[in-house]
Structures are given as C-alpha cells and as structure tokens.
C-alpha cells in the first residue's frame, strides 16, 4: 500500500516578496517566489495534490537557513538534496545550471552546447521554465544570446534583482 507523501512547507518574507520552501524527508521538492503567501500555498497544494502538506509557519530549519543565507549574500552555492520529478533531459539541464558560478550567466545556447545538444536551445529554455526549485537550480543565471534576460517563472523583475544581488556580493 502506498502512503501519501508528506511535505513540510515554510513561507516567509524575503527580499523578493515571499519565499516558499517545501521538502520531503529526502530533499527539497519546491522553492517558489511570489507576492502573495496564499497563492504560493495554493500552488504548492495544487502541484502536490495527493501529498500531506504540513506547515512549519516561519520555523527555521537547516535548508531554510541555507536559502536565506543565499538571499542575504552569505551563501554562494546551494548544494541541497533535491526530491524532484523530472525527465532525463530536465535533470541534465538542471545539473548544468548548478555549475554556473554565482554572479555569472550563460546563454541558453551555451547550456545546450555544454550538453552536447547545440540545437536544443528551446528545450533548455523549457527545462528552465519548469524548474520547481528556484535558486537551488539557478535558472535565473541563464539569459538570451543577445544578453537580454528572457523569461523567468517568478517574474523578470525578480530575475533582474537576483542577478544584481549576486553581482553585488561577488
């Protein structure tokens, strides 16, 4: 008999609005940014419909502390265990994104070439857009070939702010 997955979630204010961090016993399964904590909560429950979601309120744990350390400029790399569902290609892209140094950017084309799939630029962009763990998988560090920011699931202004934040803390 399969038991429902248990997820513990924390939502707290941060420099980018509100930050949601959700994790199972195996790792972080969601990191989201938004303007409204209720909308973040609703989205989490919709994405993990069969899971039991426990709310830790503003309680702090090690993983939350690490992410807040990143947002405060103290933590440059987020090497946290993940519990995410992904296609093999998404996993390849997300692992490649985790190698982009703090404060640096790469283009979608460069990521595709790094993966040995130079024509998979749009697929790389789709993998970035479907990333469920913002910040840990730093899709905000991927830009268009012309240097423009492109899109960002959590809003282009947040992407701009994250890149400026990293540049200021190098």
pLDDT tens digits, residue range 29-47? 999 999 999 999 999 999 9
Mean pLDDT over the full length of the chain: 92
pLDDT at residue 3 greater than cutoff 70: no
Q: Exposed/middle/buried for 3, CB within 10 Å: 0-12, 13-18, 19+?
A: exposed
Mean pLDDT of 51-79: 82
Buried/exposed 60-80: b ≥16 CB within 10 Å, e otherwise: eeebbebbbebbeeebeebeb
Asked whether residue 1 carries a pLDDT value surpassing 90, the answer given is no
Q: Which CATH class is domain 6-71?
A: alpha beta
CATH of region 88-168, choose from 1.10.10.10, 1.10.150.120, 3.40.50.300, 3.40.50.620? 1.10.10.10
The domain ranges of the chain are: 6-71, 88-168
pLDDT classification of 8: cutoffs 50, 70, 90: very high
**pLDDT tens figures, 120-159:** 999 999 999 999 999 999 999 999 999 999 989 999 999 9
* pLDDT on residue 145: 95
Mean pLDDT in residue range 52-70: 78
Percentage of residues in the chain with pLDDT exceeding 70?
A: 95
- Catalytic sites, residue numbers: 139
């Amino acid at each position: 008999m399969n038991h429902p997955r248990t997820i513990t979630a924390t939502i707290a204010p941060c420099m980018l609005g509100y930050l949601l961090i959700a994790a199972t016993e195996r790792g972080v399964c969601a990191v989201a940014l938004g303007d409204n904590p209720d909308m973040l909560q609703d989205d989490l429950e919709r994405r993990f419909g069969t899971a039991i979601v426990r709310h830790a309120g503003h309680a702090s744990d090690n993983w939350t502390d690490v992410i807040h350390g990143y947002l405060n400029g103290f933590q440059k790399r987020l090497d946290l265990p993940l519990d995410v569902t992904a296609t093999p290609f998404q996993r390849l892209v997300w692992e490649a994104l985790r190698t982009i140094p703090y404060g640096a950017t790469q283009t979608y084309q460069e990521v595709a070439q790094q993966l040995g799939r130079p024509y998979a630029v749009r697929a790389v962009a789709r993998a970035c857009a479907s990333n469920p763990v913002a910040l840990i998988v730093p899709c905000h560090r991927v830009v268009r070939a012309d240097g423009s920011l492109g899109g960002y699931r959590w809003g282009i202004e947040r992407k701009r702010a994250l890149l400026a934040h990293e540049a200021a803390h190098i």
